[in-house]
A and B are shown apart, each in its own frame.
Chain A
Amino acid sequence: MEFIDYYKVLGISKKATADEIKKAYRKMARQNHPDVNPGNSGANKKFQEINEANEVLSDPEKRKKYDKYGKDWQQGEAREKAQQEYAQSYGGSSPFGGGKGFGGGDFEGGDFSEFFSSMFGQGGGRQRQGRFRGQDVNATFNLPLSQGFTTQKQTFTINGKNIRITVPAGMENGQVIKLNGHGSPGSNGGPAGDLFITFDMQNDTPYRRKGNDLYLDAEIDLYTAVLGGDLVVDTLHGKLKLKIKPETQNNTRTRAKGKGYPVYKKDGQFGDLYITYQVKMPENLGEKEKELFSELQKLSKHG
């Protein structure tokens, strides 16, 4: 458990007046409020820190205790315990000097750090009347492109609870699914926050994806490109037989309608698959082949 410098958190000096504390708190709260920083968990954490700092520094009693013990708060706590034990045993004032206990209030303290709870106790926060909605939780899920091709059930473990959801086919990279009430629990009986799952699509296929369309480079040999022929390519829908026309040029693109990626939440609808033919030149030619190519060159009308 680490000491938290509440003055540093609010960016104020140790001599700051109540007004300066209030001003600093409000300024930082405006910048870091979770509702104006959606999806920014860093801001959420910062907001909790500044709330805690304000909770301590805006309360004269708590500030006094905090200032008194500062970094030595653990020893201070032990000393305070000894004071209380002395007072209980002998009554009256103790030789350790004054000191007033904290406590009271029924705030659950769930939003406070371990340091705060240790110094001021679980009941150390001010009693709040409002019920607070829990924090929204953001999670990222890595989904292979091949798996995202079909609708499937996925189980997530959030806050120790297993949540089973249906992930529709055709998720886009960076797409977010919101699950109402599956975020952090609320305080004082407030509703739970929401769970936002961002899908990070990992491409584990030879295809490139642009929206619902897929793109594939398919190699064909020179002879098939010149004379025509058949080519079988693997698609996410299964094998696809393509007719290559004679005299097909390098980088010719053909479209296989409806053989692309599923359209999100549109059953039976798919994008297209674009296949670009990459003509592979023959290598390591034998003498005979070279001769025949030379002959072809002489015959060629195209030079």
Chain B
Amino acid sequence: MASTARIAATEFCSYHNISIDFITALGDFEMIEIVREKRTLFIPYSQLQQLEKMVRLHRDLHVNAEALHTILHLLQQVQQKESELQQVRNLLAFYEDNG
């Protein structure tokens, strides 16, 4: 990975006014990818959008990393079910046209 395609975790934390512990906790739960180089933590740019979503939930809803883990897992399940539902709807439309 190119060194420019990431941001230092401390810089991200200061930008969003959050604690570095929150970021490390997300890393421990494998909810985001964190790169450790010597003693510095870096966040790949590819992780930023998902991480910012977690920061918003953390800050707006006062939920910790454990609760976030559960929320995101459930959201993923909802998304999967919605996709399945759409497929079933399309199939239903096909059979309704047949009728």
Contacts and interface: CB of A to CB of B under 8 A. Distances in A.
Nearest to B52: A133
Interface stretch (A29-37, A64-72, A101-109, A257-265): A29-37
A133 B93 CA distance: 38
Given A26-B61, A173-B90, 10 more contacts: A30-B61, A33-B61, A35-B57, A36-B71, A38-B79, A130-B16, A130-B59, A172-B90, A208-B97, A210-B94
> What are the 3 tightest A-B residue pairs by CB atom distance, in nearest-first order?
A174-B86, A208-B97, A210-B94
A36 B75 contact: yes
Contact of B17 (A36, A129, A210): A129
B2 to A, nearest CB: 19
A interface secondary structure, majority: loop
B60 interface: yes
B62 interface: yes
Interface in B60-99: 60-62, 71, 75, 79, 86, 89-91, 93-94, 97-98
Interface residues of A, number: 21
Contacts of A203: 97
Contacts of B52: 133, 191
26 contacts: A26-B61, A29-B61, A30-B61, A33-B56, A33-B60, A33-B61, A35-B53, A35-B56, A35-B57, A36-B71, A36-B75, A129-B17, A131-B16, A133-B52, A133-B56, A173-B86, A174-B86, A174-B89, A180-B49, A203-B97, A208-B97, A209-B94, A210-B90, A210-B94, A215-B94, A215-B98
Interface in A10-28: 26
Nearest to A174: B86
A282 to B, nearest CB: 26
B91 A130 contact: no
Interface in A129-175: 129-131, 133, 172-174
